[in-house]
């Protein structure tokens, strides 16, 4: 059987290549453990100067997320026990990358969603291409933008993070660069050469990535930035919906499209995401953020919306989820409070 993650040393650079192309390199627990083991070894190896994370050639995805089918099976069949283990260890990998003592370069060449965001955003260098499709689409399956999403999305500015968290909007490579979710934009045809040059001179990564590579296309999201800042300004979900409704009454077709998009999402998850991002802004460390996200994950995994959302969107592809609670008004503050509440001390998330 082919390794789902290929780890190797190339000169003085550690290389991690995701190798599960049929699943667009979606992360399994074994893949996360393999990555974590390699990173632990390289962190203490003076011969390793930098790390590159990419995917094997010939597929559309950098990493399309986590093992959603496994998580749903856990929610339905073991009370979420194996799912919580999955979240716990994936979050340890996210934190390990965030605190890694050497430069990490993530090449987001292709679909970069969910778990793929979690292993690319901690990198010092985040390279987008014309193939990049960046999104946190979890509200559509009753999950939430985890793997550090609370930290990254809340810090973009202009309420863009809240917009991305709620709508699951997909950004292309130039949009990822414009929002700061990518640090560099490189045409995909240049990637092999750039990786080879990084291996040759790992002390010059910033310079190698910043050398003239042409002008990226215009970032389409920039045209709607003012509307996003206005309509997604509130941390109260009902206020956002009301703002969009007001614009629709004035004939704004963009607002209508976004309102309709939100209408397909889990009301519970949308309220969770807004609280998550608002809370994360005030957290002092990324580890604190992951403690919060693990509490959320432990709860939403076994709430009705997750299994139902995966059924409707991924398993049956009927796109007709029956959310519970069904409307934003029915998602009480008490329910959200319970999702964010501390876990018993021996069950809280801890870094490696």
> Residues 14, 61, 65, 66: which is the catalytic one?
66
Digit-coded pLDDT (tens) for 66-111:
999 999 999 999 999 999 999 999 999 999 999 999 999 999 999 9
| pLDDT reading at 1 higher than 60 | no
CATH 3.40.980.10 fits 5-347, yes or no: no
66 in active site? yes
Closest CA to 265 of 220, 315, 317, 325: 325
Going by the DSSP 8-state scheme, the letter that residue 143 receives in this structure is -
CA distance 221 to 234: 20
Predicted TM-score (pTM) of the model is 0.97
In the prediction, which pLDDT does 211 show? 85
Digit-coded pLDDT (tens) for 290-333:
999 999 999 999 999 999 999 999 999 999 999 999 999 999 99
Cis peptide before 244 (omega within 30 of 0): no
> Residues 138, 172, 305, 308: which is the catalytic one?
138
Block residue for tokens 């998550």: 276
Mean pLDDT of 254-280: 98
CA distance 130 to 113: 16
In the prediction, which pLDDT does 2 show? 60
Residues of the chain with pLDDT > 90, as a percent, come to 96
Assigned token pair, 126: 């985040």
Mean pLDDT of 136-151: 97
DSSP string computed for 77-89 = HSTTHHHHHHHHH
78 in active site? no
Interacting residues of 114 by C-beta distance below 8 A, sequence separation 6+: 64, 65, 66, 136, 137, 138, 146, 147
Interacting residues of 252 by C-beta distance below 8 A, sequence separation 6+: 227
> Residues 49, 67, 109, 146: which is the catalytic one?
146
> Residues 14, 83, 110, 115: which is the catalytic one?
115
In the prediction, which pLDDT does 57 show? 82
138 in active site? yes
Block residue for tokens 């509490």: 295
Digit-coded pLDDT (tens) for 187-231:
999 999 999 999 999 999 999 999 867 788 999 999 999 999 999
| Residue 274 CA: distances (Å) to CA of 195, 286, 323 | 38, 18, 18
Angle at 300 between CA 297 and CA 304, to 5 degrees: 155
Mean pLDDT of all residues in the chain? 96
Residues of the chain with pLDDT > 70, as a percent, come to 99
| pLDDT reading at 252 higher than 80 | yes
CA atoms within 13 A on the CB side of 306: 24
**What are the domain boundaries of the chain?**
5-347
């Amino acid at each position: 059987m082919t390794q789902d993650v290929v780890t190797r040393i190339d000169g003085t650079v550690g290389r991690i290549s995701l190798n599960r192309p049929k699943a667009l390199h979606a992360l399994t627990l074994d893949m996360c453990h393999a990555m974590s083991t390699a990173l632990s070894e390289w962190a203490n190896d003076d011969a390793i100067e930098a790390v590159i994370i990419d995917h094997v050639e010939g597929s559309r995805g950098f990493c399309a997320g986590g093992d959603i089918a496994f998580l749903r099976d856990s929610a339905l069949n073991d009370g979420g026990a194996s799912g919580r283990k999955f979240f716990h260890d994936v979050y340890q990998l996210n934190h390990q990358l965030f605190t890694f003592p050497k430069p990490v370069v993530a090449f987001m060449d292709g679909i970069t969603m969910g778990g793929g965001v979690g292993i690319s955003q901690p990198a010092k260098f985040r390279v987008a291409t014309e193939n990049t499709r960046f999104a946190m689409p979890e509200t559509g399956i009753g999950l939430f933008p985890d793997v550090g999403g609370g930290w990254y999305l809340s810090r973009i500015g202009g309420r863009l993070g809240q917009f991305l968290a709620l709508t699951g909007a997909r950004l292309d490579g130039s949009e990822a660069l414009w929002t700061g979710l990518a640090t560099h934009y490189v045409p995909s045809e240049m990637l092999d050469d750039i990786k080879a040059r990084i291996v040759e001179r790992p002390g010059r990564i910033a310079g190698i990535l910043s050398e003239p590579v042409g002008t990226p296309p215009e970032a389409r999201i920039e045209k709607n930035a003012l509307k996003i800042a206005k309509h997604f300004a509130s941390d109260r979900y009902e206020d956002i919906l009301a703002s969009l409704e007001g614009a629709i009454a004035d004939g704004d077709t963009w607002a209508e499209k976004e309102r309709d998009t939100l209408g397909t999402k889990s009301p519970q998850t949308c309220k969770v995401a807004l609280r998550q991002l608002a809370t994360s802004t005030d957290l002092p460390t990324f580890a604190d953020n992951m403690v919060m996200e693990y509490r959320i994950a432990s709860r939403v995994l076994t709430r009705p919306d997750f299994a139902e959302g995966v059924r409707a969107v991924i398993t049956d592809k009927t796109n007709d989820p029956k959310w519970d609670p069904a409307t934003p008004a029915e998602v009480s503050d008490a329910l959200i409070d319970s999702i964010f509440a501390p876990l018993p001390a021996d069950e809280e998330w801890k870094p490696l």
